[in-house]
Structures are given as C-alpha cells and as structure tokens.
Amino acid sequence: MHSNLPNSWFRVARSQDLSTKRVIPLHYFGKDFVLFRTEDGKPHILDAHCPHLGAHLAHGGKIEGQTLRCPYHGWHWDTNGQCAAIPYPTQNKPKAKIQSWPVLELNGLIMMYYHNQGKLPDWEIPQIPELISQEWTPLRLVRQWKVRTTLQDYMDNSVDVSHLYNLHSRTFKSAYSHGVEINGPILTHRMSQKYNLSSLAAGKLVLEDGSVTTIYYGPAYDVSFYWTEGKLKLGLLTIFTGTPIDNEYLDIAIFYSVKKVLPFPFNLILNRMLKQDVLETFEQDVSILENKTNINNPLLYQQDGPVRQSRNWAGQFYSENSLTL
C-alpha cells in the first residue's frame, strides 16, 4: 500500500478557469503554487513565494508580457522561474530562482507534472480524439469533491469490480473484468457490464448489456468509455482525476462527455440523466472512501478485479524519497 505522494501528471484546473493574464493560487502536495497564463496564452506554474522577501505571487501579482510581477517590490519572474528584472538602478540581477513545474493543457484541463525530487516527465497524457469531435458533447464538470482518502485507495476503488454490483446495484446489475493491459505508465482495464439505465420515460429502468474500457494515464487521471449494446448504443466518456492536497485529502473532479445519438432536445435530457447517474454513483463511493481503513494485504478473490495488478503497476510512480507529509 502506498500512503505517500506519487510522481505523475495531475489535474490542477480547467482551461476555462484561467483567462489570459490571470494568476491563480494553488495548494497541492502540501505546497503552495501559482498558476498563470502569460500574454502568449500559455499556462505556467511556479512555486508560490517570491524569494526576495516571501510575498505570495498570486495575491496581487500581475502578468506583464511573459513575466509575473511580484506585488510586493515589483520583481519580475519569467516562466522558468528566473528573475527577469528588478526595479532598481543596477545592471546586476540576482541569481535567485523559483521552482517551475511542467504543464500540459489538453482535453479542456490544465495538468501539472509533480515529482518529489523535481525531475522532468518522460511521458505525457495524450489528446483524447472524442473531445475534439463534433460527434460528442463538450467536456463538462460533474462535480468536484474534497475527500479524506489516499490516492491508492481511490485507485483501488476504481478497479474494484465486485463493489459495482453491490454498492452501486441501482446502476450496475453485474460486472465482469477481462483483465488489464500494462504499457509503462498506462494501464488499460476492460469490463463487461449490465446497466440499469433510466429511460426517457420517467421512473422506468431499462436493463442494457454494455462494456467499459478505462485507460489510466498514471494513478491520478483515467478516461473511461462506457457503451451499451441496445438499440441506441449509448456512449459515455468520463475523466476521473484525483490530485493530492496533502497526505490526508484528495481533490477529486469528474468530467463527462456524451455521444450524440439523439436529436435535440432528447440528447440534452440524456446528457443530464447520465450526469446524474455518474454523480449519484460516486457519492456512494465518497462515503466509503472517507470512512475506510488501508489494508496492506487485502483478502482478494478473482471477482474483486485487478486490484493487486493495479497496485503493482502504481508502484512505479513512487520514488524512494516520495513525499510523506
């Protein structure tokens, strides 16, 4: 069981939340950061405090061109964290530096690569083709939660098959794992399921055969494709993200997109129904996650799914000196 913080890509914001020249404070991994978008439209992340006299750069800091200006004394910091200018009559800029962090912006989200020793990433999360397709609805937020749990427990819950038709029996009649495929930092899990879906007729449940493929890009970002095999062949895409606030709490945000299989306004109704199903299902998980304990050697059966395989895979993201707060 991994109780410390892994090295991986983490969601820290939605693209729509960061307008040009805006500076946002972040608090993750027990540390303070600033997220900002320079005039060229690119997002950047630095440690939060100016090394001159300690001001927090998100509280009054301003974007000027490609630099972030400290609100306290007007020192300018470039996107690599180097001091770019100071407002004093001297040619000698200090050799001070603020830690900068790798950033990706894709799939409507802003991702930060966090490594406990500050190492650079050797892999990236890809663009999801469906999210730039006209055949799918725009990616939207289901909800964001602050949950008292570890990233490992969150990951265990995600690959746990038998809890689907026990805890979530209203949505899942049955579930069967076809195992996992591992390719370095990517784990793919395929399942067959029977869904209890609310029909467009209020209050009526329809039993549908279906499948889900979940692709984990590291332990904190997974993309799931849900399909039904009925007449409509419904398609639902979800992105689950979990970013450690510290060693006790996780910032979990779920996003979704729906395949456009019905004309307006029925597609809008379907969209809202599927969002509600995702919301109600994960709310049940939150109650479990916040009150469970860590089991290092769980009593696992085949029906539980690939919990042990996913734990072994996740081990690659934890370094010997991974941060424990």
Bridge-based pairing state of the strands 172-183 and 31-37: unpaired
Could you give the count of Cα atoms lying within 13 Å of 312 in the half-sphere of its Cβ? 8
Distance (Å, rounded) from C-alpha 206 to C-alpha 196? 6
The pLDDT of residue 91 is: 72
DSSP state of 73: T
The pLDDT of residue 202 is: 47
- Tens digits of residue pLDDT in 274-288: 898 899 999 999 999
- Tens digits of residue pLDDT in 297-318: 888 888 888 999 999 999 999 9
pTM for this model (two decimals): 0.92
The pLDDT of residue 274 is: 86
Distance (Å, rounded) from C-alpha 101 to C-alpha 28? 13
Look up residue 235 and give its amino acid: G
Among the ranges given (53-57, 67-71, 227-231), the one the predictor scored with the smallest mean pLDDT: 227-231
Tell me if the bond preceding 94 is cis, omega within 30° of 0: no
| Distances from the Cα of 285 to the Cα of 60, 80, 186, 290, angstroms | 39, 40, 24, 9
Locate the domains of the chain by residue range: 8-114, 131-317
Distance (Å, rounded) from C-alpha 126 to C-alpha 217? 9
Provide the CATH number for the domain formed by 8-114 in this structure.
2.102.10.10
- Tens digits of residue pLDDT in 168-227: 888 888 888 999 999 999 999 999 988 776 544 444 556 678 899 999 999 999 999 998
The pLDDT of residue 200 is: 44
The pLDDT of residue 145 is: 97
Distance (Å, rounded) from C-alpha 216 to C-alpha 151? 13
- Contact of 114 with 318, CB cutoff 8 Å: no
- The answer, yes or no, to whether residue 111 has pLDDT greater than 70, is yes
- Contact of 172 with 164, CB cutoff 8 Å: yes
Write down the CATH superfamily of domain 131-317.
Naphthalene 1,2-dioxygenase Alpha Subunit; Chain A, domain 1 (3.90.380.10)
- Residue 259's φ and ψ, nearest 5 degrees, are -65, 135
